[in-house]
């Protein structure tokens, strides 16, 4: 085989092993999926529809994120809640309430609390708990989709018995996450749709969270006016930005 | 008992006894009144002391401890940041007279989470091997077993039900301390049911090592000491002598705070109420004797004419009152102690009273189990009725008899 024919073949073999390895290494797949749920650095408008039996409340939020562990969220509507803001920086969480004109730091336990009364917790907004707390196992894989089963690590701070994640096999764009309790009953489902390119990733702009134990409890999050891969100034993740915007 | 004899040679007490039963219906009424007063006295003391005992036991052995060594800063602000600076003094504690055992505790506010719900709690890190020597909590594990190793947690049964956590399942504890925010997944190994609402609805026991890891505190927030019931204050004072500056021993009375004043007030109020009871019973006895004396004026005239002096007549009447009251007292004692013993053995009062006063009981640390106590001194307190009846009789009917003129008395129809 000539040198000119050997090189492309070697590159192809290398590519095969590289992609093949990523697809079958559950940890790498999980990291890629979590990256896709987080997108890259971004600015966007997030419309949050909190559905409860017989009623629905819609929030309009301005979101800034660095694609890692920092997010700044300002509530624009409804008028009743406008002006509230949330700053998430790793394990730290601050809330600004315009009535008090003060930023309050929430205890870490607050991260598990419901965000604006929705089915989303503060952890869902900026955490990487799925990577940190669970051991992934490849449950199913074909040309279109890959499914992981996550089981909690010993003493991991999660109350769930297991989690399943389905994603696109090629882009690792997330399709669905189902949380099960320790009695193998599905308790929460997150579904993703309407993907857009975000750098090298496919970012879902429509996310639906359903409480499977309480019929009618659902939260729909839709991103609009999004910009990905932009430079987000450091001062966006400060208390000053929490109070006055970024 | 008087050995004075009547003119016929019959001892005065026997004459009083006979006179008492000549008017059986009136005497039975007199006995009933005194028996009722005595019974009420014994039962109310038994109930009050039983209630206070339940409260003190609940605080000493389930909620807090008989004596707790902590920093004054922690006492004012129970935050892990105010934990004990060191534990060097611990070895000296068992040498203090009255100290039975010591157990380290590290308490901290946390959020307890299951897959279904979350609840703010005050978690307590313990030494599993030592906790049972100062607390009754391990003895109240009704499902599963007591905590043994790190990675485990024991919950109050009502708390577990509220977040729908079962034995064998994992729950999450989120906490913040000097080391920053930390969380841990812990396996529920046991459920505590003590019938004390604060305990069943709020207990979270985890291993001291886990508590230290979650809070970053390397010592403890307190050292719980075993001390005999009733000697907590003395033991705390003795312990204080071996503690370094900046660390204090708090007795149960310090720990229960305002309840201490309430306890004293409760007993004073009870004593006053029961004195009023005794006063009315004695008045009822005296009025019965007075009616008897008025009806028997002619009889007293005859007895007096036969040679029994006014002083002995007065003693005869007082003896009648005392004998009748003593019989009532005896019957009241039997009935009162029978009831307090029964209510002290079986939890009959708890299910009846708790639904009505449940909220107040929660604040006082009393559970759904309410037992009465039976102490010999209740019987002594109840003799107040007899003493008062004798005094009133001396001042009223006996005085009237003493002033009788035999000639006039015999003319009374």
User: Is residue B371 pLDDT above 50, yes or no?
Assistant: yes
pLDDT for position A115: 80
- Percent pLDDT > 90 in chain B is 46
Neighbours of A146 (CB within 10 A): 24
Chain A within 8 Å of B178 (Cβ-Cβ)? no
Q: What mean pLDDT do residues B27-35 have?
A: 90
pLDDT > 90? residue B148: yes
Residues in contact with B151: Cβ distance below 8 Å, sequence separation at least 6, in sequence order: A154, A155, B186, B187, B207, B210
| Interchain contact, A112 vs B118, CB within 8 Å | yes
Which 3 state secondary structure label does DSSP give B150? coil
Residues of chain A contacting B110 with CB distance shorter than 8 Å: 109
Using DSSP, state whether B184 is helix, strand or coil. Answer: strand
Question: Do B70 and B55 fall into the same domain?
Answer: no
**Do B236 and B294 lie in a common domain?**
no
Stretch B271-286: mean pLDDT: 87
Q: How far is the CA of B315 from the CAs of A154, B15, B311, B318, B391, in angstroms?
A: 86, 11, 6, 5, 11
Q: Are residues B166 and B290 in the same domain?
A: no
Confidence of residue A243 (pLDDT cuts 50, 70, 90): confident
Burial code (b: 16+ CB inside 10 Å, e: under 16) for B267-281 equals eeebeeebeebbeeb
Instruction: Say whether both B302 and B228 belong to one domain.
Output: no
In terms of DSSP H, where are the helices of A72-188?
122-126, 129-133
**Domain check: are B196 and B236 in the same one?**
yes
B226, B255, B284 — which closes off a domain? B255
CA dist., res. A57 & res. A79, Å (int): 12
B332 inside domain = yes
pLDDT above 70 as % of chain A: 85
Q: How far apart are CA B403 and CA B413, in angstroms?
A: 18
Do the beta carbons of residue A237 and residue A70 sit within 8 Å?
yes
Q: Which of B309 and A207 is assigned the larger pLDDT?
A: A207
Confidence band (pLDDT; 50, 70, 90) for A13?
A: very low
In a domain? residue B336: yes
Return the higher-pLDDT residue of B166 and B291.
Answer: B166
Per-residue pLDDT band at B362 (split at 50, 70, 90): low
Q: Which residue of B has its CA nearest to A182?
A: B169
Evaluate whether residue B4 is within a structural domain. no
More confident residue, B84 or A11: B84
Q: Measured between CA atoms, how close is B174 to chain A, in angstroms?
A: 5
pLDDT digits (tens, 9 = 90+) for A70-129: 889 999 989 888 888 988 887 778 889 888 778 887 765 566 677 887 888 766 655 567
The reply to whether B350 falls in a domain is yes
Cα distance between the two ends of chain B: 32
Q: Which residue has the higher pLDDT, B31 or A124?
A: B31
pLDDT, residue A92, reads 78
Does A161 lie at the interface with B, CB-CB under 8 angstroms?
yes
pLDDT of residue B144: 97
Mind listing the pLDDT tens digit for each residue in A205-237?
999 999 999 999 999 999 999 988 888 888 888
For residue B178, pLDDT beyond 90: no
Give me the residue label for tokens 């301390």.
B177
pLDDT attached to residue B8: 56
Confirm or reject CATH 2.50.20.10 for domain A3-244, answering yes or no: yes
What are the structural domain ranges in chain A?
Answer: 3-244
CA distance B152 to B305: 91
B81 touches chain A (CB under 8 A): no
Range of the domain at B124: 66-255
**Residues B289, A65: Cα–Cα separation, whole Å:** 95
At how many degrees (to 10) do helices B12-22 and B310-345 cross? Answer: 70
Q: How far apart (Å, rounded) are the C-alpha atoms in residues B397 and B83?
A: 70
What does pTM read for this prediction? 0.72
Cα(B232)–Cα(B72) distance, rounded to whole angstroms?
Answer: 18
pLDDT over 50 (residue B204): yes
Looking at the 3D structure of chain B, how many domains does it have? Answer: 2
Which tokens go with A88? 């998430």
The domain boundary residue, chosen from B255, B273, B290:
B255
Residue B51, both tokens: 């209630």
DSSP secondary structure letters along B194-207: -S-HHHHHH-EEEE
Residue with tokens 């996550």: A150
* pLDDT score recorded for residue B156: 97
The segment with the largest mean pLDDT, out of A17-31, B185-199, B266-280, B352-366, is B185-199
Q: What is the band of B133 on the pLDDT scale with cuts at 50, 70, 90?
A: very high
B72-130 confidence digits (pLDDT tens): 999 999 989 999 999 999 999 999 999 989 999 999 999 899 999 889 899 999 999 99
Looking at residues B199-217, what average pLDDT do you find?
A: 94
What is the spatial distance between Cα B300 and Cα B77, in angstroms, rounded to a whole number?
76
Q: How many CB atoms lie within 10 A of CB A229?
A: 15
Does residue B2 sit within a domain?
no
CB-nearest to B185 from A91, A109, A152 is A152
Asked if the model's pLDDT at residue A2 lies above 80, the reply is no
> What pLDDT shows up at residue B137?
93
Residues 201-240 of A with CB under 8 A from B: 213
- B120 at A interface, C-beta within 8 A: yes
Q: How confident is the model at residue B367 (pLDDT cuts 50, 70, 90)?
A: low
Work out the mean pLDDT of chain B and round it to a whole number. Answer: 87
- How far is B40 from B33, CA to CA, in rounded Å? 11
Nearest to A159 among B110, B171, B181 (CB): B171
Residues B53 and B89 both lie in one domain: no
Based on the fold, state whether residues B273 and B209 are members of the same structural domain: no
Confidence of residue B2 (pLDDT cuts 50, 70, 90): very low
Q: Are B157 and B267 part of one and the same domain?
A: no
| CB-closest option in B110, B169, B185 to A109 | B110
Asked whether residue B47 falls in the same domain as residue B96, the answer is no
Which ipTM was obtained for this model? 0.73
- pLDDT at residue B1 greater than cutoff 70: no
The pLDDT, as a whole number, for residue A205 is 92
Looking at residue B363, its pLDDT comes to 65
Select from B208, B226, B255 the last residue of a domain.
B255
B interface mutation test: which of A182, A188, A213 has the most B CBs within 10 A? A182
Q: Which two tokens stand for residue B389?
A: 């009846």
Instruction: Name the nearest CA neighbour of B79 among B175, B146, B182, B204.
Output: B175
- Whether residue A9 is predicted with pLDDT greater than 70 in this model: the reply is no
| C-alpha separations of B263 from B197, B260, B353 in Å | 20, 5, 19
Cis check for the bond before B354: say yes or no (omega within 30 of 0).
no
Among A114-128, A151-165, B147-161, B245-259, top mean pLDDT goes to B147-161
Check: CB of residue B400 under 8 Å from CB of residue B74: no
Other C-beta atoms within 10 Å of B331: how many? 17
B309 is a domain residue: yes
Is residue B49 domain-shared with residue B97, that is, in the same domain? no
Contact B185 A158 (CB under 8 A): yes
Of B111, B116, B171, the CB nearest to A109: B111
Specify whether B223 is located in the same domain as B318.
no
Compute the distance between CA of residue B145 and CA of residue A195 in angstroms, rounded to an integer.
50
Please tell me the distance from the alpha carbon of residue B197 to that of residue B55, in angstroms, as a whole number: 12
**Rounded to an integer, what distance in angstroms lies between the CA atom of residue A151 and that of residue A153?**
7
Answer yes or no: do B175 and A156 touch at CB < 8 A. Answer: no
Across the interface, of B114, B118, B176, the residue whose CB is closest to A108 is B176
* Chosen from A94, A104, A111, A157 to mutate, greatest number of chain B CBs within 10 A: A157
* pLDDT band with cut points at 50, 70 and 90 for residue B19: confident
Tell me if B42 is assigned to some domain: yes
* Residues B153 and B274 reside in one and the same domain: no
Determine the pLDDT at residue B26. Answer: 85
**What is the per-residue pLDDT for B403?**
81
């Amino acid at each position: 085989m000539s040198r000119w024919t050997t090189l492309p073949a070697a590159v192809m073999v290398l590519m095969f092993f590289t992609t093949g390895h990523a697809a079958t290494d559950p940890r790498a797949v999980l990291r890629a999926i979590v990256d896709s749920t987080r997108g890259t650095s971004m600015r966007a408008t997030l419309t949050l529809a909190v559905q409860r039996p017989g009623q629905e409340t819609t929030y309009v939020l301005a979101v800034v994120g660095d694609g890692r562990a920092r997010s700044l969220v300002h509530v624009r509507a409804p008028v009743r809640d406008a002006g509230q803001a949330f700053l998430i920086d790793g394990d730290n969480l601050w809330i600004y309430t315009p009535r008090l004109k003060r930023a309050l730091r929430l205890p870490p336990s607050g991260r598990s609390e419901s965000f604006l009364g929705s089915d989303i917790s503060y952890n869902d907004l900026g955490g990487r708990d799925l990577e940190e707390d669970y051991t992934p196992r490849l449950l199913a894989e074909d040309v279109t989709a890959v499914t992981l089963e996550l089981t909690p690590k010993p003493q991991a701070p999660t109350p769930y018995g297991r989690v399943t994640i389905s994603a696109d096999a090629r882009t690792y764009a997330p399709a669905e996450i189902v949380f099960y309790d320790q009695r193998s009953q599905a308790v929460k489902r997150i579904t993703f749709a309407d993907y857009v390119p975000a750098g090298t990733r496919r970012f879902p702009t429509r996310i639906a969270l359903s409480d499977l134990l309480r019929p009618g409890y659902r939260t729909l999050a839709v991103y609009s006016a999004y910009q990905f891969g932009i430079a987000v100034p450091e001062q966006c993740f400060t208390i000053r930005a929490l109070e006055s915007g970024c | 008992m008087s050995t004075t004899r009547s003119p016929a040679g019959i001892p005065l007490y026997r004459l009083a006894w006979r006179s008492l039963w000549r008017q059986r219906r009136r005497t039975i009424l007199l006995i009933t009144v005194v028996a009722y007063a005595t019974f009420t006295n014994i039962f109310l003391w038994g109930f009050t002391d039983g209630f206070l005992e339940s409260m003190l036991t609940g605080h000493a052995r389930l909620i807090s401890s008989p004596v707790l060594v902590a920093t004054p800063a922690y006492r004012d602000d129970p935050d892990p940041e105010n934990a004990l600076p060191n534990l060097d003094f611990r070895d000296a504690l068992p040498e203090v007279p009255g100290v039975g055992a010591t157990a380290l505790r590290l308490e901290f506010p946390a959020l307890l989470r299951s897959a279904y719900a979350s609840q703010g709690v005050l978690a307590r890190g313990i030494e599993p091997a030592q906790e049972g020597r100062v607390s009754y909590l391990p003895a109240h594990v009704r499902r599963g077993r007591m905590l043994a190793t790190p990675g485990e947690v024991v919950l109050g049964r009502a708390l577990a039900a509220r977040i729908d956590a079962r034995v064998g399942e994992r729950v999450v504890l989120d906490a913040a301390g000097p080391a920053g925010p930390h969380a841990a997944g812990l396996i529920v190994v046991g459920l505590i049911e003590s019938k004390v609402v604060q305990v069943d609805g709020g207990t979270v026991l985890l291993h001291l090592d886990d508590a230290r890891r979650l809070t970053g505190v390397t010592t403890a927030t307190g050292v719980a000491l075993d001390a005999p019931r009733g000697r907590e204050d003395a033991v705390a004072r003795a312990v204080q002598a071996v503690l370094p500056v900046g660390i204090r021993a708090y007795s149960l009375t310090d720990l229960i705070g305002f309840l201490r004043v309430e306890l004293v007030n409760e007993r004073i109020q009870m004593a006053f109420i029961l004195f009023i009871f005794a006063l009315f019973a004695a008045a009822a006895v005296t009025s019965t004797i007075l009616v008897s004396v008025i009806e028997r004026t002619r009889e007293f005239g005859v007895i007096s004419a036969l040679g029994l002096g006014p002083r002995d007549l007065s003693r005869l009447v007082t003896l009648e009152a005392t004998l009748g009251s003593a019989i009532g007292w005896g019957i009241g004692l039997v009935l009162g102690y029978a009831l307090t013993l029964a209510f002290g053995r079986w939890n009959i009062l708890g299910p009846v009273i708790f639904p009505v006063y449940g909220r107040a009981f929660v604040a006082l640390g009393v559970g759904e189990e309410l037992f009465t106590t039976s102490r010999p001194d209740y019987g002594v307190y109840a003799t107040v009725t007899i003493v008062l009846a004798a005094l009133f009789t001396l001042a009223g009917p006996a005085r009237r008899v003493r002033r009788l003129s035999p000639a006039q008395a015999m003319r009374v129809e």
